[in-house]
Structure 1
Amino acid sequence: LGRGKIEIKKIENSTNRQVTFSKRRGGLIKKAQELSILCSAEVAVIIFSNTGKLCEFSNSSMSKILGKYQKEKGSQLWDAEHQNLYNEIKRLKEENERFKSNLRHMKGEDVNSLPLEDLCLLEQALEIAIERVRTKKDHCFVEELYNSRKRLSSLEEENNRLREIAGNCRAMTMERENGYGVSNVYGGGEGVTSLHISPTFRVQPSHPNLKDTGY
């Protein structure tokens, strides 16, 4: 079965509209690319989506083709300010691509196409980066070791303090058990204390001769 004829009108469904835009944009750029190859033509395509997103294609320099267009039509597409802005955007795009390429090289990717000189420069840059990472790692290690020792010293001091408190508590407990603890006579009165002494036991004389001696 052949495909039915599609009515050319605005697609109301936003999802379907976006899908159709993506497909037809790709098809249009593909046709423009084929036209430039088959006919050795200079082709430039500029597309703005309904959300304002720019999509462009040119088989050579876009500014060169637009310059030819301006010269041929005798009209100015943009003023010097817009031209400078366009050049700045182009420069930033090229710089961004260069940074991405350098990042891939730093990861060891896409290095097969690099010449010997670039490989040597890349090796030097990686060695410098590794040395910086090692220096920072060693610094962090020393700092962490210092902090660990400091925490250990603090824990030892706290342990000694707790041992001293425990020793004092044991000594006080032993004094109370032996009857030498000091307490308040009147159950909490201020300034009046008494020494608790263990009860004494008096030996009663049981021998007949001791009774007469007055004991």
Structure 2
Amino acid sequence: MVRGRTELKRIENPTSRQVTFSKRRNGLLKKAFELSVLCDAEVALIVFSPRGRLYEFASAPSLQKTIDRYKAYTKDHVNNKTIQQDIQQVKDDTLGLAKKLEALDESRRKILGENLEGFSIEELRGLEMKLEKSLHKIRLKKVYISYFQYS
């Protein structure tokens, strides 16, 4: 006889829910014990019942030692992982900023008329139009400032 899969949703009947909790808790504790014995693994399990009762299992001498080991492990690995991620982020940022700096430097050289040998007539006309627009804006600002300065 094959058991069907149980639909994972909250059991509404409180009595059935408590019976299921007790059976599954016992099964979980048994599996944790078996894992620790068969594989010589350090296992710790903490379960709080819906009513707030604590059930625990630890294959090590104490649950607290396993928790302390877990904290030390995660602290070391999380810090190391975070440092590696930070280093990679700095490298990526540096590469991006270097590309932006190169583009800005190229734009500056264009505006100053340097290194224009490889440009086509269309590119030079476009650059000339941009410069004329900028010059027009500068002149308007100059007129605006001088108008309000003397009035």
Shorter-chain TM-score tier: 0.3 to 0.5
